[in-house]
Chain A
Amino acid sequence: EAGVVQSPRYKIIEKKQPVAFWCNPISGHNTLYWYLQNLGQGPELLIRYENEEAVDDSQLPKDRFSAERLKGVDSTLKIQPAELGDSAVYLCASSLGLTGADTEAFFGQGTRLTVV
C-alpha cells in the first residue's frame, strides 16, 4: 500500500514568489494534516481537514497561506508571497479518523522549502 505522497521533495524560490505543495494521503484516510517543521524543532500543526472541511486552521497564517482539499482526497498548501522565514519542511500526514488507533498519523517525506 502506498504511503502519503508529497511533491515536490525540495523547492527553492526567491522571496515574494508563490509556491505550492501537493499531498496525496493514504487511500481511505479521512483526516489530513499539514505540519510545519522548522530546523531542530518538532512539527507544528498548520491545518487539519476532515474530508474536505478544514476543521482546525487556527495556526495557519491566513494572510499568506492557503490550503484546499477538493473532493476530500488530495490537498494543496500554498504560500503567496513567500518570505525568508518560511524556509522549513512542510509535512503532510493522514489518519483514518479521530478515535483510538484510528488517530495514528502516517507522514509523508515532506517538502523542504528554501526561500532566498
Chain B
Amino acid sequence: AQSVTQLGSHVSVSEGALVLLRCNYSSSVPPYLFWYVQYPNQGLQLLLKYTTGATLVKGINGFEAEFKKSETSFHLTKPSAHMSDAAEYFCAVTGTYKYIFGTGTRLKVLA
C-alpha cells in the first residue's frame, strides 16, 4: 500500500524567502515520487520527479527536492519565492501503476 502526507495545507512566505513544502510517503515498493503544481482552473503540471539515481532532483522554475529514504520524505524547496509561485502543490507517489496524491499545499507569496 502507498500513501502520501503533505504537512500544512496552507503555507505563506514572503517574496524572496525560502519555500519549503513538506511531503512524507509510505510505500511497500521502491517509490517513484513527483511534485505537481496546479494553478487556478488548470490541470496539474509536473515540477520534478524522482525515479532512481541521484536523490537530489532539480525541476522547473528553480524548484528542487531531495529523496530521503531513511526519513521517507520528499520535501520541495526553492531558495527564493516569487509571486508567480503562488499556487497549489501536490506530492504524489507511484510504484504500483497508480498515482497516490497528497491533499495539497496552497502556497501564498506575500509582497
Binding site for B on A (CB under 8 A): 4, 6, 33, 40-45, 48, 55-56, 91, 93, 98, 100-101, 103-110, 112
Contacts and interface: CB of A to CB of B under 8 A. Distances in A.
A16 B42 CA distance: 27
B80 interface: no
A109 B104 contact: no
Contacts of B43: 4, 6, 91, 107-110
Interface residues of B, number: 24
Contacts of B103: 40-42
A64 B50 CA distance: 37
Given A56-B97, A56-B98, A104 B34 contact: yes
Interface string B93-111: 0100111011110000000
Interface of B: 4, 9, 32, 34, 36, 41-46, 49, 51-52, 90, 92, 94, 97-99, 101-104
Contact of A112 (B41, B49, B97, B104): B41
B49 A104 contact: yes
A109 B42 contact: yes
Contact of B104 (A42, A44, A110): A42
A109 B94 CA distance: 21
Contact of A45 (B4, B9, B36, B98): B98
A82 B82 CA distance: 41
What are the 3 A-B residue pairs with the smallest beta carbon separation, nearest first? A42-B101, A107-B43, A107-B44
A100 B44 contact: no
A101 to B, nearest CB: 6
Contact of B99 (A4, A33, A110): A33
